[in-house]
Copies of this chain bind each other. A is one copy, B any other.
Amino acid sequence: MLESFIYILDMIGVIVCAISGVLVATRLRMDPFGIAVLAGVTGIGGGTLRDMMMGATPVFWIIDNTYIYVILASAAISVYWLHRIHRFPAYLLPLLDAFGLAIFTIIGAQKALTLGFTGPVAIAMGCITGVAGGMIRDLLSGQIPFVLQKEIYATASILGATLYVICHYFEFGPIFAMTIAMLGTLSLRICAIYWHLSLPVFSDDREA
Measured CB to CB, the residues of A under 8 A from B are 23, 25-35, 37-38, 48, 52-55, 57-59, 62, 65, 68-69, 79, 82-83, 86-88, 117-118, 120-121, 124, 135, 139-145, 147-155, 158, 198-205, 207-208
Count chain B CB atoms within 10 A of each CB in A33, A62, A207 and give the residue with the most: A33
Choice from B26, B58, B68, B207 contacting A53 with Cβ under 8 Å: B58
- A188 to chain B minimum Cβ distance, whole angstroms, is 12
Which B residues are in CB contact (< 8 Å) with A142?
A: 143-144
Choice from B37, B52, B65, B208 contacting A148 with Cβ under 8 Å: B37
Which B residues are in CB contact (< 8 Å) with A147?
A: 33-34, 37
* Contact between chains at A52 and B57 (CB < 8 Å): yes
